[in-house]
Structure 1
Amino acid sequence: MMKITVTLDSEPTYQKPKKGDEVRKWSVRLGSTSPSQMTISDFVEFVGNQCYSFNPAICNYNWIIEENFNSSQLIIIDVDKKLSLGNAINRLIELELPMPNGIYRTLSDPTDNNLPIEEKLKLAIKYRLIFVLDRVITNFDEYNNLVRERMQKIFPEADKLSCVQKFYGGKDLLYKQDTTLLSSLLLISVSDLYQTKHIESTQGVRKALKNKKNAAPNKHQEAKNLLAMPYLSDSTTTNSYNYTKELVINEPPIRNFDWEKARLEFKLLDDFLSMNIKIYHSELLGLYSGMRRIEGGAKKWKEAIQNNKSIDERKEYISDWFDINYTKGTYIFEQKISNYATNDPASLIYERLTDLHFKKRMEAQKLLGHPEISLKQAEMEMDSFLKQAIETPGNGKYILKAITGIGKTEKLLSLNLDGCIIAAPTHKLKEEIAKRYRNLGRTVLVTPEIPKLPEAIQQEYDKLQAIGDYEGAASYLKECSSSDIANTHFVGSEIMEFRKKMNNYFKELDTCLNSDQLVITTHKRILFSDFPNHHTIIFDEDPTQYILETNSFTTKDLRIIQDELNDTDQKAVQQLLDLANSNDNLNMVHQGNPLKITDMAEFRKKINSNKVFVKGAILPSFKCDYWMATPENLKDTNGDKKIHYIQKHKLYPDKKLIILSATTNETFCKALYGKIIWKDLSSVKHTGSRIQYSNLSLSRSTLGNRNNASNLNSIRNLIVNKPIITYIKHRNLFPDSNTKIHFGNCSGYDEFKGEDIAVIGTPHIPSFIYLLVASELNIQFNQNDIEMGEQTVCHNGFQFKIMTFPHEELRSIQFHFIESELLQACGRNRTLREVATTYLFSNYPLPGFEQHNIRELPQLLDENNIKEEVTTESQSQNTFQYGIVSGSL
């Protein structure tokens, strides 16, 4: 949630001081108060309801005077009897300015307190309007102009404003909102046009606007300041019409602009050109800033206003205001779509309207080279590293990051691994590794998978797993194999057969646990079982998601069992409920166990007796390291909350650890395992081709968006008859994605070896996972650091745009998980050794991939050689649940 910096009194003032000493004391106290950061909602509550005084400006030296002005993001309108609040609101509506972020009655307002708020909003005569600007103003002259020359002209009835004026708080907050801020550019344009409202002739209006511009001293050329240097793009786009830091004179118009295509992709533009929907001042201004750069665009803009009865005809003067302020020879300016159409899907894809004609968003820009070694050299270095790791005595930690398909597992087959354990992420991969050993005639032990259970027993086992009672689940299986429980599910010989299977399962497992021979098992089994006679653990693939286990339960789960607990534990549950339901604690990471229960045996018993209703894993939270609360439904912040937590499972400190992975991370490994021996063989020359289209994120929220339809069609045309890996819930968008492989389930599959494949999407995971993992890695951050937004970043030798954190270390964690999933997906066709092509569509750039733009696809597909390749091909042929470890051992 956005925060603003304000100067807020340290204590409330319930009535206006009357004596000189009282006023001086109040003024000195406010002046000496250090600025603080808070949400808009909290600020207006303190001021409007709790009588806290404030100063809209931040001043240096604890002295509130103009000479000490530092910055401000607030504009205050102070009205004393000369204009009713209802009329003030109507004026804002008439001028199409946003509603204030706060409205409160002053201490002396005579309006009846008992009236409903709706009436007070009409009748109050002593009140203040609080506007939060869309940016922090650091230049005093600019701020002074916005306050006195702009806002004061719109509200001449208001008391004369000073830029460093102190304001008393109020007794009645009538209105607040924190979703829409006041654009300084909008305020300037509205103010200029408002001052011409008495002029009837077009020529008169234009003359007044020109006089206004020419009369302003240079330091008040706010239009030039606002629309030039601070807003210039720093992108190195090939769109020659974009924004450079050089003066551009006589810009040629953009020709052959496809208006129909643009309307399909930009809803506001479509609404505007349909000429039957009301479009507001800020939207008209933003649209004109782009349309005027297109051949015939200014004319089309004016015609759309003239033919739209919902738009005031005087809004046509917006174009005159704009053109007068931006004559040829000044800096080119075009507003970002996100500035005037925040909720339009196009704002997530395009930066500006004219980018629809060009490469809308730039593909990732390569900043640094990416040297690659030969496959032969990589194999030699891998052989040497693995030999050293296996043969060196002791309990060292050896980490090999090696490209997918280099043959890590194959190399293990040639080494003496007595006393070692190989751990794979899944039972399927475990069995594949075991099969390769047996094919060579090698003896190997494999930890068994739980036999198929009767439906009722399976359901009971799954419920115990779901609530996090892993010990209870294991005990239940043992009980099934040795008690009369099976009698209720089987008849006759089936009972003996089931018991035999279960006894064999436990016997095989016991053999593996107590052996000193090579054992092949799963990542999860390693963490929950003891192997006392083995000296080395070899992880095939990165085990981080099992070592850092995340899980969750809801406040509803707690309420189900609360009344059945003793008084002390009921209070402990209530304390957690209060903490989770407090808005101040949402998305805040807490250390330690969220629940302080005195009678664990009884608590576990109540959880088990209610496991039909309790859906979350409460019990493991008692061993967690960090936890945080988020809304269960993001659209309902007042509803039930979800408690997410993380636990770091400790590996055997006395055993040697070897990790073989294409996606592991050196920073993670150092934080988790301490001193490590690290080898990176991830940058190797490929036999096949790797092509990435990186100008669209294609996230879960945008992939299926109707405004993305043209891009999806281009992608489908390129990848026809090719296997597709994407989000599990979006596979229906692609006819050839009927595969079990999807984001979150990519590791270890070889089915696409040697085939061309497409990987589509940027697999973000819930942000709470990043925060909990960061806490486990001892990364320090505050609430301002966790607000994600689209940023231009430099990483892995690329510059690119992505939705991410402002905090560099949080960003690195996020990028690790995205990159890991993309690398796993892109490695399925083994282009390291195979003549095949991987097509990746994601705005997260991977090293080694050629970077392209989706806008190139229609042209490429029109070329005969591409058509022939596609024809030949056609003739011959959730969510990522990171760390929520479930299923059998």
Structure 2
Amino acid sequence: MVSKKGFLEERINVCLDQEGFNQKPSKNEVVRISERIAGQVTRVTIKELMENVTLPNAKSFTPATFAKAKRLNQNWKSQQIFALDIDSGLRIEEAIRLSEKWRVKPTFVYSTFSHTDQYHKFRMVFVLDEEIQDIRVRNVIQTALTTLFPTSDKNANDAARVLFGGKKIEFLHKGVVSIPDILDGVVRKIKSSSNSTREMKRFCKASGLAFHKGYPHYKKVEELELPSKWENLFISKTKNRTNTINYYSTRGENSHFDYYLVFSKDFYQDNESFSFESKTYEEQVMKQVRNFPFENLQKRCKLYREGISGDYWLYHNEMFGLMTNLLNVEGGKSKVVEIINSRKEYLEKREEWSLMMNQIRKMNYAPTRCNTYCPFADECIHAKNMIEQGKLPRGSVQVIEEPQFQDVDEVYRKLENVLGDLLKSTENGVYVIKAPTGIGKTEAIVNFAAENHFSIAFPTHRLKEEVSQRLNSKKIKHIKVPELPLLEEPFSEKIEHLYNIGAYTTVNKYLRQISNENEDVSIFLEELDKLKTSKNELLLTTHQRSIFTNDDSNSTVIFDEDPIPSLFPISQMKVSDLVFAFTKLQDNEVNKDVIITFQNMILNAPFDIVQERSSFLLPSVKDLEQTIVEERTISSNVLGFLNCDYFLKMRIHNTDYIYFIQRKKLSKSKKTIILSATINEKISKLVFGEDVTFIDLGLVRPAGSILQVTSKSFSRYTIKESHKELKSLAENLMERYNPESEIITYKDFSTGGKHEEIYFGNTEGIDNLKGENITVIGTPHLNPIAYLLISVALGYRMGLEESRMEYRPVERNGLRFYFTTYSNDILLKEIQFYLVETQLLQAIGRARVNRFPAKVLILSNLPVVGAEYISLSQKELIDLMK
């Protein structure tokens, strides 16, 4: 694609003499030009160059620049223009036809002073897409061009050659050539000759390139494929090139290939066995992909679809891109043949394309990226290459639907409008507002609190206290649920024991018992008692208290963050603890029969099958709780189990456990507003009913950046299995992509960070990392038992296929990726993603990238919408784990 300023306005460096001539300079004039021209380095546009070298100016020039102001081959410094003098044996129109045949067209051609209609004498000028600063490469290019046009003057090929001006421009292409394109042309020409092997070796000897597998040793590659630096190697990376000119009218992006040239160690050698450090990797990536779903590629790739049907005319570079992809797939060669046979106009190209196919296969070309050659790259959401478009590689992410971002202030205004309308409404029910992290949800609540009375429930007492301070700073009157004070032993030990066994009623009794001798507890109880009589006052509370106490202080409650996990508390105990507790409970004759029956049901329950707890009548419930409280050896949540909805018995390492869940519900007599960045619409409707109002405010265009490496899951299990290697990998990735960043990960995955009190499960609302660069390490899976019990509590029943976890391709949130999950279209899978995404997104949100220019690095295989994804090769991962 032509840049906005126009191709002819591209600038290049030449040594341009300041004196013009209307004919070929005399010998004395030539001497003077030679002496001064090396010091006349000029940066000119291509248009200016053409005007300067033709009449009426007809100035002399050297394509090269020099390190010293003396025109000598040994002073050669750089070159972007190459020229051939044609004095006989070829007419201009024939030269152009040849250049089209070899696909190496000159940028312009001008006639020299001795040119006539009968005897054509002209100069072909080739502009490279990059400036060359390696004399070896310069010699390769000059040798290649004279090989393509053998009638050119061999005496005009030295590096310091002066080229004289001429009459006029005879041909203009408005295009540049690349070094790989020039060498491709040489290969095409030589392969079409009668003794191609001999001629190929001759060219390699003349140019200095190594001879490898029947070809000059050069290769277009992706950056990851580039070999390590070596003395006989020239590497050209797109991002490091000098004076790059982007001009590809049929490519999806103005992008060049990276490439390398391998030079012969002994000037020439038949180097069939040549190898360098990355060869093992090349052979690995070139292994053909098996079981490739061509039907998926047909649906997802317009170029392949229209290429194989013959509806689209394929240009050379597009066919090259298709071949490099399809020849890496088992059965892909037949698809290439099918494409070649799709149009009768391709008949004349069969030989050329057959040669190109053989070269791609022999030289092990990797799949070309879609955005470097595909004309439809801007029309579809494409993967890295055609292979990934059809078959997703493990550890990579394909965007199938681009996220739609909005300005942060726009989303905040939406939040204010929606929240204001809901607070004015007189309709009860559950209203869910999904709003991105860091846009100011809490600030919006505080602003509305000045003129409204409602309850605000926070996930922690710490967040409750932070908001209380904000309200005090604005002089907004409010009351708050007190936090149980820290107590010394044995009081704290006793209360912790009562909570563990589920004796919440006894906790309150015990606190009142010790309040006479503990002032802090006395104040705590007084504040609780005040809450019972408060009505229509701004109340700050917690998720737990709002859910478990049926507080009726206000008719409207706002949950800051998602309360759904708190509505499904899951507990665990050993079966032996439960049996011991039941044995003690049997001492009470009134409850004995029910307890024995219940105990037998537990002991006889099958493993790994969710059971619904039986309903029962206990004549003496108070005696049952009292018995458990008095028995100090009972430490499991027996009372919680007796109140559960479902339970599951499992054997883990020869020990039998009971997992159980109790479903809580929000009050239907209130208006409940939930503000959360991670809440899920499907789960919300299952939990709160189809009548729930769900409002998604959309995504914010971040002020910072999010980078995600998806090649490893960094799950708890994988870290436990390969702790040393994954810790080394995480450290090296941080050093590469986000050095000196703060870390959020699992509580038990020590990283030596300054904020180890912030970890998965303890990130909600934390604000002291805003604007900081952070690295989030891990995919915080829960125990699959949690997914199972929650799905059953929501009324879902599953069979063999639904409950099986596998590493499988997934399409979610506009992304395709591999993940260990359940089969498609089931609640179990939705619950899993919801719970894992919640933990991951909460951790990422601590940097507040929506408002601050911070950088977040994520090491997890669960892709986050809007991140820049990095998929590393196996070789890179191994190197980084050392």
1:606 aligns with 2:598: no
CA contact (8 A) 2:455 2:553 kept: no
CA contact (8 A) 1:514 1:531 kept: no
Q: Which residue of 2 aligns with 1:589?
A: 610
CA contact (8 A) 1:725 1:737 kept: no
1:765 aligns with 2:803: no
1:728 aligns with 2:747: yes
Q: Which residue of 2 aligns with 1:834?
A: 852
Supply the distance in 2 between the matched residues of 1:250 and 1:651 (Cα, whole angstroms): 59
1:246 aligns with 2:349: no
Q: Which residue of 1 aligns with 2:469?
A: 435
Supply the distance in 2 between the matched residues of 1:449 and 1:709 (Cα, whole angstroms): 38
Q: 1:441 and 1:576, CA in 2 relative to 1: closer, same or farther beyond 3 A?
A: same
Give the CA deviation at 1:650: 2.6
1:785 aligns with 2:802: yes
CA contact (8 A) 1:466 1:616 kept: yes
| Deviation larger for 227-236 or 763-772 | 227-236
User: 1:114-151: per-residue Cα shift (whole Å, max 9, x none)?
Assistant: xxxxxxxxxxxxxxxxxxxxxxxxxxxxxxxxxxxxxx
Q: Which amino acid aligns with 1:787?
A: R
Q: Which residue of 2 aligns with 1:537?
A: 557
1:742 aligns with 2:759: yes
Q: Which residue of 1 aligns with 2:732?
A: 714
Q: Note the residue ranges of structure 1 that are not aligned, 5 or more in a row.
A: 1-226, 252-327, 330-354, 483-494, 863-889
CA contact (8 A) 1:593 1:622 kept: no
Supply the distance in 2 between the matched residues of 1:573 and 1:630 (Cα, whole angstroms): 21
Q: Which residue of 2 aligns with 1:368?
A: 401
Q: 1:458 and 1:243, CA in 2 relative to 1: closer, same or farther beyond 3 A?
A: farther
CA contact (8 A) 1:686 1:831 kept: yes
| 1:112-131 equivalences in 2 (<5 Å) | none
Q: Which residue of 2 aligns with 1:476?
A: 510
Secondary structure class of the residue paired with 1:715: helix
Q: Which residue of 2 aligns with 1:512?
A: 531
1:677 aligns with 2:677: no
Give the CA deviation at 1:792: 1.4
Identical columns (%) = 28
Give the CA deviation at 1:230: 9.5
Q: Which residue of 2 aligns with 1:693?
A: 709
Give the CA deviation at 1:408: 1.0
Q: Which residue of 2 aligns with 1:751?
A: 768
Supply the distance in 1 between the matched residues of 2:854 and 2:491 (Cα, whole angstroms): 46
Secondary structure class of the residue paired with 1:828: helix
Q: 1:670 and 1:767, CA in 2 relative to 1: closer, same or farther beyond 3 A?
A: same
Q: 1:856 and 1:832, CA in 2 relative to 1: closer, same or farther beyond 3 A?
A: farther
1:414 aligns with 2:427: no
Q: 1:787 and 1:746, CA in 2 relative to 1: closer, same or farther beyond 3 A?
A: same
CA contact (8 A) 1:553 1:615 kept: no
| 1:152-551 equivalences in 2 (<5 Å) | 229=291, 244=329, 246-248=331-333, 361-415=394-448, 416=450, 418-482=452-516, 495=517, 498=518, 500-515=519-534, 516-551=536-571
Supply the distance in 1 between the matched residues of 2:406 and 2:396 (Cα, whole angstroms): 26
Q: 1:404 and 1:845, CA in 2 relative to 1: closer, same or farther beyond 3 A?
A: same
Q: 1:773 and 1:682, CA in 2 relative to 1: closer, same or farther beyond 3 A?
A: farther
CA contact (8 A) 2:457 2:542 kept: yes
Give the CA deviation at 1:693: 1.0
User: 1:665-698: per-residue Cα shift (whole Å, max 9, x none)?
Assistant: 2222222223222211241111110111112111
Supply the distance in 1 between the matched residues of 2:327 and 2:624 (Cα, whole angstroms): 64
Q: 1:857 and 1:233, CA in 2 relative to 1: closer, same or farther beyond 3 A?
A: farther
CA contact (8 A) 1:753 1:829 kept: yes
Supply the distance in 1 between the matched residues of 2:544 and 2:567 (Cα, whole angstroms): 9
Give the CA deviation at 1:366: 1.4
Q: 1:644 and 1:728, CA in 2 relative to 1: closer, same or farther beyond 3 A?
A: same
| Deviation larger for 520-529 or 776-785 | 776-785
Supply the distance in 2 between the matched residues of 1:717 and 1:669 (Cα, whole angstroms): 40
Supply the distance in 2 between the matched residues of 1:801 and 1:673 (Cα, whole angstroms): 31
Give the CA deviation at 1:780: 2.8
Give the CA deviation at 1:802: 1.3
Q: Which residue of 2 aligns with 1:150?
A: none
Give the CA deviation at 1:229: 4.6
Task: State the TM-score, normalizing by the size of structure 1.
Answer: 0.53
Alignment match of 1:649 (pick from 664, 682, 691) = 664
Q: How many residues align?
A: 508
Supply the distance in 2 between the matched residues of 1:839 and 1:791 (Cα, whole angstroms): 25
User: 1:92-124: per-residue Cα shift (whole Å, max 9, x none)?
Assistant: xxxxxxxxxxxxxxxxxxxxxxxxxxxxxxxxx
Q: Which residue of 1 aligns with 2:192?
A: none
Secondary structure class of the residue paired with 1:441: coil
Q: Which amino acid aligns with 2:645?
A: D
Q: Which amino acid aligns with 2:709?
A: Y
Task: State the TM-score, normalizing by the size of structure 2.
Answer: 0.53
Supply the distance in 2 between the matched residues of 1:709 and 1:518 (Cα, whole angstroms): 47
Q: Which amino acid aligns with 1:389?
A: L
Q: 1:650 and 1:710, CA in 2 relative to 1: closer, same or farther beyond 3 A?
A: closer
Q: Which residue of 2 aligns with 1:557?
A: 577
Secondary structure class of the residue paired with 1:477: helix
Q: 1:737 and 1:502, CA in 2 relative to 1: closer, same or farther beyond 3 A?
A: closer
Q: Note the residue ranges of structure 2 that are not aligned, 5 or more in a row.
A: 1-288, 302-320, 337-360, 363-387
Supply the distance in 2 between the matched residues of 1:538 and 1:856 (Cα, whole angstroms): 48
CA contact (8 A) 2:590 2:620 kept: no
Q: Which amino acid aligns with 1:810?
A: L
CA contact (8 A) 1:451 1:505 kept: yes
Supply the distance in 2 between the matched residues of 1:783 and 1:765 (Cα, whole angstroms): 20
Supply the distance in 1 between the matched residues of 2:712 and 2:617 (Cα, whole angstroms): 47
Q: 1:525 and 1:228, CA in 2 relative to 1: closer, same or farther beyond 3 A?
A: closer
Secondary structure class of the residue paired with 2:700: coil
1:776 aligns with 2:793: yes
Supply the distance in 1 between the matched residues of 2:628 and 2:838 (Cα, whole angstroms): 36
Supply the distance in 1 between the matched residues of 2:668 and 2:409 (Cα, whole angstroms): 35
Secondary structure class of the residue paired with 1:563: helix
CA contact (8 A) 1:692 1:840 kept: yes
Q: 1:843 and 1:426, CA in 2 relative to 1: closer, same or farther beyond 3 A?
A: same
Give the CA deviation at 1:478: 1.2
CA contact (8 A) 2:582 2:599 kept: no
CA contact (8 A) 2:581 2:638 kept: no
Cα RMSD for the two superposed structures: 3.5
Give the CA deviation at 1:703: 2.4
Supply the distance in 2 between the matched residues of 1:855 and 1:577 (Cα, whole angstroms): 55
CA contact (8 A) 1:714 1:857 kept: no
Supply the distance in 1 between the matched residues of 2:327 and 2:733 (Cα, whole angstroms): 26
Q: 1:243 and 1:575, CA in 2 relative to 1: closer, same or farther beyond 3 A?
A: farther
Q: 1:709 and 1:367, CA in 2 relative to 1: closer, same or farther beyond 3 A?
A: same
CA contact (8 A) 1:514 1:532 kept: no
CA contact (8 A) 1:721 1:736 kept: no
Q: 1:242 and 1:509, CA in 2 relative to 1: closer, same or farther beyond 3 A?
A: farther
Give the CA deviation at 1:228: 6.6
Q: Which residue of 2 aligns with 1:823?
A: 841
User: 1:708-762: per-residue Cα shift (whole Å, max 9, x none)?
Assistant: 466335324234321111111112xx33365210111111111111111100110
